[in-house]
Amino acid sequence: MTATALQAKVHPAVEGGLLLEVADLSVQTASVTSITFTDPAGTALPGYVPGSHLVVQYGDGANAYSLTGSGRHPSEYTISVLRVDDGAGGSLAMHRLAVGDLVRVSHPRSAFAPVATARHHLLIAAGIGITPMLSHARAAAERDSEATLVYVYRPGQGAHVQEARELLGPALAECTDRGSFQEELTRRLTDQKLGTHLYVCGPAAFMDTVLARARELGWPQGRLHSEPFGAAELDQGEPFTVNLARSGVTLEVPAGVSLLEALENAGKGVPNMCRKGVCGECYLPVLRGAPLHRDLYLSEQEKSANTTMMCCVSRSLDQELELDL
Amino acid sequence: MSSGVIDGTAVLPERISRFPFPFPSDSYRYSTNVEPALKTVVTEAGAWGGRLLDIDEHYRHELTERDAVLTRDPTRLQVLPHMRPAVWDAISTLLPIMAAEHPDAMSFDRDGNACRWQNTLQDLDLEFTLGDDGSLPVEPLRFLGSQIQDDIALLDQREGALWLDAGLVTFAADWSFGFDVGMKFLEVHGPVPRVHQEQIITRAQQFLLRLQPGEKYRRANWTMTVDRRLDTSTETYPQWARDRATVAGDPALPDRLHLRVEVQHLIRLPHSGAVLFLVRTHLLSLSDIARVPAWRERLGRVLAELPEDMAEYKGISRYRSAASAWLLGT
């Protein structure tokens, strides 16, 4: 096992997740490698919604990657990772994995699902943005629903091109330069049947261009979908300090740990239920400081009053909060 | 008041000891009362909630009743075409859970899409292929509804909303699935008083929209029903509505009037991404409730205190005072 693989400290983003084994590595292009994970015990993995992503821990960090399978009763999870030499180090760590390494991953998270009522799925991918589209295309094939894929990649740099060709046949349009893509895009945006939904994944500027062009050509917003990586989850937030006025205790709340968890860890648990900011059980009276409200329970007025907070999801705008606890 | 203590040292029957008594305090208001599923709740009479799919002494009787309702009125089962994958997702999710929770009675094996389901409670040994409607003896959702006591609703998520686009609902508490199918979640709950001003349904929807695949939550809801009648749908209103007016003066009220508790499970299905709503209805007569002194008092107080608009919506306004008086011995 390589030193980067299994870390003793579990990253909060993969807590409660799975411990999987690297079963296969396959080089897609000079900079993209596919990594396949399986359960070391050989059991089937949880199914997932097409377009889902997996958070994979590396060292002290964790990155999200799209799963490329259809998600139906999977025996393995496969991601494809583009090596980014000047990134935070996640992709380099992924590229260093070896068969047999154990890796902590989250359960698959869905944030880019196909629309069940769509009459046709128009998939548009650039570069490594092919990964969730492959998942969509596979699911469409299994469900006998119609899909078209427009795939833009640099000559010789197309990951999964062969699979896309086999999967989609004539429903795949490949573009390797900007001019031909613009032409193809305009044609596809103007000749779709009523009820088509568009899905786009790629660099942010690419997605903006595609979405802007679609709107220009009269596509309603509800038919346009882009990959909002990780938006289904709240971010880890900044660390802050809480003073519990009545018990005279001061607690540190690190990034990635909720105030509720910090209170529980300190033996100061409060009544709670959903732990997602909707049920209203875990409210706490705030005496000083401005909470960063992230719940769905308090009204806008209540939030702006800054006298109450839901400690399962909300954090602090100020360095320190004082609570009536 | 006939009973005050728990029958001496006698053990309470399971219908009482496993009953999901829903009131934590002496007054009841609507709230977004969701909690993670599978947590065992200890009550004054026993415990409930350790399983997702609860099977009890009424299993075969209720499934026979469901089949009869469906034969009389096929509109209780509807699947809009785009929901077929969600139905299969529900089947491939629930049968393994049921087998794991009831290993003495059931087993589920899967190899790819080939499945074998055994249910000794029904002398059933069935091989079928996931995704192939014709491989089951009846249409897929009807099959699922013939194995579990729960009513089933499936919500599709799109356009930032949830849509009630498929279901099998034979034991509705005063609503009509056939009328609601195809509606948005917020529209389905349109007639419920108070919850809109209090943003309760909006919050519930936000919660459901964010539910991740594989996550399982539950909530309890309640009303009251005269006799052990499971099908109190809008469609059969003429058959059961009259009892609500007459039961208050009936000396048999404690045996006829039942607290009706729905344990609702909310599950994001792993592959289709649809939200599965399971509604498991439990009925317990006031006579049985009175065998647990804490329940007798609490239900008596809840019924006395409940605001009129809520009592009216629940359809209990004509007999709740009589019920409360009997329970509290006043």
Domains of chain A: 12-105 (2.40.30.10), 120-230 (3.40.50.80), 240-323 (3.10.20.30)
Calpha distance A235→A237 (Å, rounded): 5
- Cβ atoms of A139 and A50 closer than 8 Å: yes
Q: Max Cα separation, chain A?
A: 70
Write out chain B residues lying below 8 Å of A54, CB-based. Answer: none
- Please confirm, yes or no, whether B242 is among the known catalytic residues: no
Cβ separation of A280 and B31 shorter than 8 Å? yes
Spell out a b/e string for B61-84, using b for 16 or more CB atoms within 10 Å of the CB, else e.
ebbebbeebbeeeeebbbbbebbb
In a domain, B1, yes or no: no
Torsion angle of C-alpha atoms A99, A162, A69, A149, degrees rounded to 10:
150
Distance from first CA to last CA of chain A, Å, rounded? 47
- A196, pLDDT greater than 60: yes
Q: Please give, rounded to a whole number of angstroms, the shortest distance from the CA of A46 to a CA of chain B.
A: 7
In a domain, B295, yes or no: yes
Share in percent of chain B as helix, strand, coil (round to 5): 40, 25, 40
- Cβ atoms of B207 and B190 closer than 8 Å: no
A196: left (phi over 0), alpha (psi -120 to 50) or beta: beta
Residue-wise DSSP of A123-173: EEEEGGGHHHHHHHHHHHHHTT--EEEEEE--TT--TTHHHHHHHHGGGEE
In a domain, B129, yes or no: yes
Lookup result for tokens 């003495």: B104
- A276, pLDDT greater than 90: no
| Residues sharing a CB contact under 8 Å with residue B218, sequence separation 6 or more, in sequence order | B34, B35, B36, B37, B49, B263, B264, B265, B266
Residues of chain B in Cβ contact (below 8 Å) with chain A: 31-36, 82-83, 85-86, 89, 92, 110, 112-113, 130-131, 156-159, 199, 203-204, 206-207, 210, 212-214, 217, 268, 270-274
Q: Please give the pLDDT value at position B151.
A: 98
Cβ separation of B207 and A110 shorter than 8 Å? no
Structure tokens at B277: 């709503």
Calpha distance A71→A109 (Å, rounded): 11
Cβ separation of B214 and A107 shorter than 8 Å? yes
Cβ separation of A49 and B273 shorter than 8 Å? yes
HSE on the CB side for B50, CA within 13 Å?
Answer: 9
Residue B8 vs residue A260, higher pLDDT: A260
pLDDT confidence tier of residue A6, bands split at 50, 70 and 90: low
**Cα Rg of chain B, angstroms:** 20
Cβ separation of A232 and B212 shorter than 8 Å? yes
Q: Please give, rounded to a whole number of angstroms, the shortest distance from the CA of B117 to a CA of chain A.
A: 17
Calpha distance B195→B190 (Å, rounded): 9
CA A79 to the chain's CA centroid: 12
| Residues sharing a CB contact under 8 Å with residue A173, sequence separation 6 or more, in sequence order | A148, A149, A150, A151, A184, A188
Cβ separation of B82 and A116 shorter than 8 Å? yes
- Cβ atoms of A135 and A70 closer than 8 Å: yes
The pLDDT tens digits along chain B (330 residues) read 334 445 544 689 999 999 999 999 999 998 888 899 999 999 999 999 999 999 999 999 999 999 999 999 999 999 999 999 999 999 999 999 999 999 999 999 999 999 999 999 999 999 999 999 999 999 999 999 999 999 999 999 998 899 999 999 999 999 999 999 999 998 998 888 877 777 788 888 888 988 888 889 999 999 999 999 999 999 999 999 999 999 999 999 999 999 999 999 999 999 999 999 999 999 999 999 999 999 999 999 999 999 999 999 999 999 999 999 999 998
Q: How many CB pairs under 8 A join A and B?
A: 88
pLDDT (tens digit per residue) in A96-107: 999 999 999 989
CA B209 to the chain's CA centroid: 21
Calpha distance A13→B188 (Å, rounded): 35
Residue-wise DSSP of A192-255: PPTTEEEEEES-HHHHHHHHHHHHHTT--GGGEEE--TTTTS------EEEEETTTTEEEEE-T
Residue A167: count other Cβ atoms within 10 Å of its Cβ: 17
Calpha distance B60→A132 (Å, rounded): 45
pLDDT confidence tier of residue A237, bands split at 50, 70 and 90: confident
Lookup result for tokens 């490698």: A33
Does A119 touch chain B if contact means CB atoms closer than 8 Å? Answer: no
- A1, pLDDT greater than 50: no
In a domain, B197, yes or no: yes
Candidate list B15, B29, B203, B219, residue with the active-site label:
B219
Interface test with A, best of B109, B157, B209, B272 (most A CBs within 10 A): B272
Counted domains in chain B: 1
pLDDT (tens digit per residue) in A65-90: 999 999 999 999 999 999 988 777 78
Q: Please give, rounded to a whole number of angstroms, the shortest distance from the CA of B238 to a CA of chain A.
A: 37
CA A245 to the chain's CA centroid: 38
Q: Which of A28-32, A120-124, A263-267, B108-112 has the lowest mean pLDDT?
A: A263-267
Q: Is the dihedral of CA A209, A210, A216, A221 positive or negative?
A: negative
Mean pLDDT over the full length of chain A: 90
ipTM value for the complex: 0.87
Cβ separation of A117 and B82 shorter than 8 Å? yes
Q: Please give the pLDDT value at position B2.
A: 39
HSE on the CB side for A31, CA within 13 Å?
Answer: 12
In a domain, B10, yes or no: yes
Lookup result for tokens 């769509």: A118
Does A297 touch chain B if contact means CB atoms closer than 8 Å? Answer: yes
The minimal CB distance from A296 to the residues B157, B159, B203 is found for B203
pLDDT confidence tier of residue A280, bands split at 50, 70 and 90: confident
Write out chain B residues lying below 8 Å of A278, CB-based. Answer: 32, 34, 203-204, 206-207
Lookup result for tokens 């980067």: A4
**Cα Rg of chain A, angstroms:** 23
pLDDT confidence tier of residue A229, bands split at 50, 70 and 90: low
- Cβ atoms of B222 and B259 closer than 8 Å: yes
**Domain housing B159:** 6-328
Does A113 touch chain B if contact means CB atoms closer than 8 Å? Answer: yes
Cβ separation of B33 and A115 shorter than 8 Å? no
Residue of chain B whose Cα is closest to the Cα of A16? B215
